[in-house]
Structure 1
Amino acid sequence: MTLTQLEIFSLVAELRGFTLAAHRLGISQSAVSHAMKSLEQELGVELLRRHQSAVELSDIGEQLLLRARAMLGLANTLRQEAADARGMKSGTLRIGSFGPTSSIKLLPNILRRYREAHPGIEVHIDEGPDRQVTQWLEERRIDIGFVVLPEERFDTFALLEDQMVALLPISHPLAARSALSLTDLCDTPFVLTEAGSAELVSRLFTAARLQPNIRYRCSQLLSTLDTVSRGDAITIVAEGSLPDGGSPRYVKRPLLPAVPREVGLAVLDQRQASPATLAFIELATRMNY
């Protein structure tokens, strides 16, 4: 069993296909097939079920994938520690990011400083909803992720605090109020943004034993803002995720009681984090936002 075989197995499982994995790795599809066949023969189990259009993991394949990613993560840490001894001139850092707050307002400035300090580190960025970033961390697909705090499952580092606000069409009757409660927001069509702080918004209503009138679900904040601007629905978003300058077609109002939101970085285990990851954390936590 080799690390190369485990890397190919992990990528095939992630992309659900031999061709896509081969393209990503820059090798032939036959080389991917050979590596998987050899790994299955050595382990004596079927890891992958081949179908005409896709590949899926067997039950034992799902179980061993977590082990494989853990081994690949430790191997990457070893490489990073060796690189650190040479001045950290090379290596890879995999980052998970969600929503405009991290992808637009936090990450670009951090990355600019990080690249200046460590130009040899190759940075990979995956973007998805907040719950997907935490899943990527648990599955070891990424080294570090932006998350909404608190997150007890991980080692975390706070970066930024803002407030959750209600967003309403400019002509909505509730727009005349200076602040709004969750109860105020339950009788009007509601749009839920799947990206960003969707989990936090859902928890707020659940904790208050309230049910918003969800009529729309949008995968991106821009679609949510457009839905609100058209007058079709209202929503709750993080103030820090809104575009600078706002819009003449919607208004934001604070919630009563106020609902703070804290964004930070998370790693699965700080003790096993690579030097490149630790350097990113150190830089990010020293910056002013």
Structure 2
Amino acid sequence: MTFTQLEIFALVAELRGFTAAAAKLAISQSAVSHALKGLERELGVELLVRQQSSVELTEIGRQLLLRTREILGLSEAMRQDVADARGQRRGTLRIGSFGPTSSLKLLPAILDAYQRRYPGIEVRVDEGADHEVTQWILDRRVDVGFVVLPEERFHTVPLVQDQMMALLPRAHPLAGRAAVTLAELCETPFIMSEAGCAALIEPLFTTAGLTPQVRYRIAQVITILGMVERGIGVSIVAELALPDRLARNYPELVKLPLAPAVTRRVGLAVRALHQSSPATLAFLDIAQASAPQPGTDHDFRAIFPNVIGKMG
């Protein structure tokens, strides 16, 4: 068993195909197939089910993929430790990001500061819904990811807090109010955001004993904005997910706070702090400095002073 075989296995599983993995690695498809067959032969199990246009992981393949990513992650952390000791500051950082909140409002500024301090670190950003990012952290597909807090499964670093905002068409009878209640939003067709807010919004109505008239479930915030502006329904979206020039770009849309107010916290999460690479720890350090918030779950700078000192 070699690291090359494990790297090829992880990439084929991620890209769901031999051709895509071969292109990514700039090697022949036959070389990819040969490496995987050799790994399966040594392990004595079938890791993948070959189909005409894609591959699927077997049950044991899914289990071993987690182990594979753990091994590769620890290997990368070791390489970064050696590079840091030599003053080279090289390695790879994989980040999971969700929606406008992290991808547009938080990540650009953090990455700007990070790359200026550590230009030798290669950064890869995978974007998806917030539940996908948490799964990527669990699956070790990413080293660190943005999450909605609290998130008890991981070590977390809080970054920002915003509030949930009701979106209404300007012609709506409630549009002139200072705030709206959940009960009032139940009187109009409701557009449920599937971009990460549903897990926060639906329990709000349930706890209050209310049932919104959910007519649509939409994954993209920009689509929700257009539908609300046209009067198709009302919605609730996190304030940081809204575009900066909301009033100018959507003049027929109104945002109002909920009464009582509902807040949301967003932070970063890693699966295991003690196994995180120097590049990951440095990213957490810079992110927290860029958006300081009290109540950090883990003071990783105190836990790993030598790593932070070398990276800094």
With normalisation by structure 2, the TM-score equals 0.89
Q: 2: CA distance between counterparts of 1:242 and 1:169?
A: 15
Q: How does 1:34-183 map to 2 (within 5 A)?
A: 34-183=34-183
The one-letter code sitting in structure 2 at the alignment partner of 1:232 is I
Shift of 1:88: 4.5
Q: 2: CA distance between counterparts of 1:34 and 1:141?
A: 24
Q: How does 1:28-39 map to 2 (within 5 A)?
A: 28-39=28-39
Are the equivalent residues in 1 in contact too, given 2:187–2:213 (CA < 8 A)?
yes
Shift of 1:183: 1.6
Q: Is it true that 1:285 corresponds to 2:288 in the alignment?
A: yes
Q: 2: CA distance between counterparts of 1:5 and 1:241?
A: 40
Shift of 1:241: 1.6
Q: Is it true that 1:24 corresponds to 2:27 in the alignment?
A: no
Farther off after superposition, 279-288 or 130-139: 279-288
The Cα offsets for residues 93-142 of structure 1, whole Å up to 9 and x where unpaired, read as 00011111111111101111101000000000011001000000000000
* Counterpart in the other structure of 2:200: 200
Q: 2: CA distance between counterparts of 1:22 and 1:64?
A: 21
The alignment partner of 1:11 has SS state of helix
Of 264, 267, 273 in structure 2, the residue corresponding to residue 264 of structure 1 is: 267
The one-letter code sitting in structure 2 at the alignment partner of 1:279 is A
Shift of 1:205: 2.4
Q: 2: CA distance between counterparts of 1:270 and 1:286?
A: 18
Shift of 1:246: 1.8
* Counterpart in the other structure of 2:305: none
**Gapped regions of structure 2 (runs ≥ 5):** 293-312
With normalisation by structure 1, the TM-score equals 0.96
The alignment partner of 1:178 has SS state of coil
Shift of 1:204: 2.2
User: Aligned-pair RMSD on alpha carbons?
Assistant: 1.3
The Cα offsets for residues 230-277 of structure 1, whole Å up to 9 and x where unpaired, read as 111111111122111322111111111111111111000111110000
Distance of aligned partners of 1:186 and 1:88 in 2 relative to their CA distance in 1, 3 Å threshold: farther
Are the equivalent residues in 2 in contact too, given 1:130–1:199 (CA < 8 A)?
no
The Cα offsets for residues 149-176 of structure 1, whole Å up to 9 and x where unpaired, read as 1100000001111111101111111213
How many residue pairs get matched?
A: 289
Q: 2: CA distance between counterparts of 1:2 and 1:271?
A: 25
Q: 1: CA distance between counterparts of 2:170 and 2:150?
A: 33
Q: 2: CA distance between counterparts of 1:98 and 1:166?
A: 20
Shift of 1:209: 3.4
* Counterpart in the other structure of 1:249: 252
Q: 2: CA distance between counterparts of 1:163 and 1:239?
A: 6
Are the equivalent residues in 1 in contact too, given 2:163–2:264 (CA < 8 A)?
yes
